[in-house]
Amino acid sequence: MTDKALTLKRKFAETRFKIYGLASLFLAMVMLVVIISSMTYRSIPAFTNYGINLEIKLANEFIDKDDLDYRGIIRETIFSLDSECDDRKCRRSFSKLFSSGAAYDLRDALEEDESLYEKNFNFYILFSDDADLFYKFGIDKNLPENERRLNDQEILWLEGFQEKGLVEKKFSSNLFTNGDSREPEIAGVLGAVIGSMYTILITLIISFPIGVLAAIYLESFASKNRITDFIEVNINNLAAVPSIVFGLLGLALFINFFGMPRSAPLVGGCVLSLMTLPVIIIATRASLQSVPPSIREAALAMGASEMQVVFQHILPAALPGILTGTIIGLARAFGESAPLLLIGMVAFVVDIPQSVMDPATALPVQVYIWADSPERAFVAKTSAATLVLIFLLIIINLAAVILRKKYELKW
Which residues contact another protein (rule: CB under 8 A)?
223-224, 292, 294-306, 308, 313, 317, 409-411
DSSP state of 145: G
When the beta carbons of 148 and 313 are compared against another protein, the nearer one is 313
Q: How far is C-alpha 392 from the chain's CA centre?
A: 7
* 149/155 Cα distance (integer angstroms): 10
Q: How far is the CB of 221 from another protein (least distance, A)?
A: 11
When the beta carbons of 24 and 308 are compared against another protein, the nearer one is 308
Q: How far is the CB of 224 from another protein (least distance, A)?
A: 7
Contact 49, 127 (CB under 8 A): yes
Q: How far is the CB of 181 from another protein (least distance, A)?
A: 54
Q: How far is the CB of 213 from another protein (least distance, A)?
A: 21
CA distances from 362 to 120, 200, 328, 345, 373 (A): 41, 10, 18, 7, 16
When the beta carbons of 27 and 409 are compared against another protein, the nearer one is 409
When the beta carbons of 278 and 320 are compared against another protein, the nearer one is 320
Q: How far is the CB of 309 from another protein (least distance, A)?
A: 9
* 96/186 Cα distance (integer angstroms): 15
Task: Count CA atoms within 13 Å of residue 375 on its CB side.
Answer: 21
When the beta carbons of 76 and 306 are compared against another protein, the nearer one is 306
The b/e string for 39-55 (b: 16+ C-beta within 10 A; e otherwise) is eeebbebbbbbbbbebe
Rounded (10°) angle between helices 315-334 and 265-289 = 140
Residue 256 CB coordination number (10 Å): 10
When the beta carbons of 14 and 297 are compared against another protein, the nearer one is 297
When the beta carbons of 58 and 403 are compared against another protein, the nearer one is 403
In sequence order, the 6+-apart residues with CB closer than 8 A to the CB of 336 are 243, 272, 275, 364
Q: How far is the CB of 317 from another protein (least distance, A)?
A: 6
Q: How far is the CB of 297 from another protein (least distance, A)?
A: 6
In sequence order, the 6+-apart residues with CB closer than 8 A to the CB of 351 are 179, 191, 358, 359
